[in-house]
Chain A
Amino acid sequence: MEVAGSGKATVTLPTLEQILITREFDAPRHLVYRAWTTPELVRRWWSGNRGEVTVAEIDLRVGGTWRYVMVKDDGFEAAFHGEYREIVPNERIVATEVYEGMPEAEALNTVTFAEADARTTLTMLVEHASKEARDAHIASGMETGMREAMDLLERVTNALR
Chain B
Amino acid sequence: MARAATTTDAFNAVAELRRRQILDLLASGERPVGDLVRGLGMSQPLVSKHLRVLREVGAVEVRDEGRRRMYRLNARALKPIHDWVRGYERFWSERFDRMEAVLEDLKREEEGGGGGG
Contacts and interface: CB of A to CB of B under 8 A. Distances in A.
B99 interface: yes
Nearest to A36: B99
Chain A binding surface SS class: mixed
Interface in B1-16: 5-6, 11-12, 14-16
B88 A160 contact: no
A9 B14 contact: no
Contact of A7 (B85, B91, B96): B96
A41 B102 contact: yes
Interface in A135-161: 139-142, 144-146, 148-150, 152-153, 155-157, 159-160
A11 B15 contact: no
Chain B binding surface SS class: helix
Contacts of B5: 139
A80 B113 CA distance: 35
A50 B94 contact: yes
Interface size class of B (residues with CB under 8 A): 35 or more
A25 interface: yes
Given A10-B89, A157-B78, A148 B20 contact: yes
Interface string B73-93: 101101101100100110111
Interface of B: 5-6, 11-12, 14-17, 20, 23-24, 27, 73, 75-76, 78-79, 81-82, 85, 88-89, 91-104, 106-107, 110
Interface of A: 5-11, 13, 16, 19, 21, 23, 25-27, 31-32, 34-36, 41, 44-50, 122, 139-142, 144-146, 148-150, 152-153, 155-157, 159-160
